[in-house]
A and B are shown apart, each in its own frame.
Chain A
Amino acid sequence: MTTKHRARYWLYIPLVFMAIFYLIPMYVMLVTGFKGFEEVSLKTMWQLPTGLRLDNFREAFDKLAPSLWNSLNMVFPAAIISSILGSLNGYVLAKWKFRGADVIFPLILFGMFIPYQAIMIPLVEFMRTINLYGGLPGLVLAHVIYGIPITTLTFRNYYATIPTELLEASKIDGAGMMGIYWHILLPISIPAFVVVLIWQFTSAWNDFLFAVILTSPSNWPITVALNNMAGSQIIAWNVQMAGSFLAALPTLLVYVLLGRYFVRGLMAGALKG
């Protein structure tokens, strides 16, 4: 342990250098965002603004507000419904394994790794048939269903750590399967719910592929609208930078405020409990 605490200050050189590398895009987004229109120029993109102006953010917000609103309307139902399903599945697959559960679980898991291009044509055709093509409910449905594998995995791993004796004891007291879930498991599931909700919120907010194939322009969430804005020649790069920051802000806030839970969700994505 002694060597671990001996200060090796040279280590800060690569650490700080890499921190700069990670923060460069953030720096450029913010510095550009806060400049006034008249001081914006590609020549001076690395310089600090002379004052704090909100022109760029205002302009970007005017353009992106409808899609920010669409994203907000979409992410909450998507995250909440898939978390509830994941919790129920996780409960059964951790504590009430029925015959065949060991085969079904890996089959469910595979769903979180598939390239969605392999199901895209049927998905669009299906959404057209059930009249959900183009709108937000269809997008929510896609996020809920393709979110089931990761939410199930996280909850299953979480519930697996809870001693079965605890459940057995309440069974003796006469509690049924749903009673145990409702009175014993659910109250101690809050941390797992936070992890899963954050994870689903982030992935639905950041999704582009489902959004671009399933929604029509008036229902575009922020990622599609931002990409579209960036692709147009008319909108200045400084407004694009401000728009990028607005698009990143909600998930960044979640990361800053609840980072610990976010990282746990990340680790679950690598299948490790």
Chain B
Amino acid sequence: MRSKRETLQSVLLVLPSIIAIAVFVYGFIGWSIRVSLSAWKGLLPDYTWVGLSNYIQLLTADARFQVDIRNTIIFTLIFVIGSLLIGLALAIFLDQGLRGEGFFRSVYLFPMAISYIVTGVVWRWLMNPAMGSRLSGLNLLFQSLGLDFLINRWYTTPYWGIAAVAIPAIWQMSGYTMALYLAGLRGISDELREAARVDGASEVQIYRRIVLPLLSPVTLSAMIILGHMSLKVFDLIISVSGKQLPLDVPAIYMWQTTFDGYFYGRGAAIGILLLLSVAVLIIPYIIYTLRSEAKV
């Protein structure tokens, strides 16, 4: 049915892309692994083999990397849970067939069109930590609304500053989560809910017993997508706080130690550790998605 020539043609057509991905993704990952196992420190490449010592150093003796891991965990928890809850709530509200649904949906989603840099620059001023007579941004708004108890030092709060950076991240991504949930909700048949109503189930029961369980695949996808994003978070933190150490994360550490400090071996090791953490989430996700697609 298909000639040899056509098979050859089809392979040739995708070959440039396959080569590009093979080199720029897999080849470069291999190259990075090699750098991470080397003593390269300074401007000139140095591939002296040092085994896993860069990794061991990072994971056992590097105080900055410990801060990074802690920050990533706090940021991820707040960002993922916040986005899921807000996204789910908005999707359920919007699914009630209210007038103006399209308008609200557009408003909730527009931050997705904006760069993390713009988001960060604007939120930096909104979350201005100045106190007393120099109060401004959201703190000033809180004061004028009589909500003084909400006034806080945002991203400069000792120890919990990273949690404040999760707010603009939620601002940016919760609309996306809403869109995913809304698509999921639209996939649940009205008959199912109607049948439950006929059986005397209350609206709350319908959501708890029928809708939410049916949405769990969406929740899982959203968790994986958001989770892998938060492991990679970089631009947003840079633009909110510059390179302040209390808000450091692995992606920033890698960039700084490599290109400002010339610790190439260490930088590569951080990059590979990041890759491993993302791969643990993403590889099963890709396999699962393609398998369930094949079944349909």
Tell me whether B219 is interfacial, beta carbon within 8 Å. Answer: no
Binary flags per residue of A239-273, CB closer than 8 Å to B gives 1, else 0:
01101100110011011000100110011011111
Give the chain A neighbours of B144 by CB distance below 8 A. 46
Q: Which of A29, A111, A113, A227 is B21 in contact with, Cβ under 8 Å?
A: A111
Complex-state Cα separation, A7 to B86, whole angstroms: 22
Q: Mark A206-239, 1 if CB is under 8 A from B, else 0.
A: 1111001100000000010011001100000100
* A247, closest chain B residue (CB): B118
In the complex, chain B residues whose CB is within 8 Å of the CB of A111? 21, 24-25
Q: Which residues of the partner chain B approach A146 to less than 8 Å between Cβ atoms?
A: 24-25
Q: How long is the Cα–Cα vector from A174 to B131 in the complex, in angstroms? A: 77
Q: Which of A2-25 contact B (CB under 8 A)?
A: 3-5, 7-8, 11-12, 14-15, 18-19, 21-25
Partner of B32 from A5, A91, A122 at Cβ < 8 Å: A122
Cross-chain contact A121 with B35 (CB below 8 angstroms)? yes
Contact between chains at A18 and B118 (CB < 8 Å)? no
Chain B residues, CB < 8 A from A88: 13-14, 17
User: Is A72's CB within 8 Å of the partner chain B?
Assistant: no
Interface majority SS (helix, strand, loop, mixed), chain B: helix
B240 CB, nearest partner CB in chain A, Å? 10
What interface size band does chain A fall in?
35 or more
Chain A interface mostly: helix
Identify which of B51-59, B62-70, B152-160, B286-294 touches chain A.
B286-294
Residues of A contacting B272 in the complex (Cβ-Cβ under 8 angstroms): 118
A157 nearest in chain B by CB position = B293
Nearest CB of B to A77, in Å: 15
> A residues within 8 A CB of B200?
none
A22-B108, A106-B287 as given contacts; A42 in contact with B136, CB under 8 Å:
yes
A35 to nearest B CB, angstroms?
14
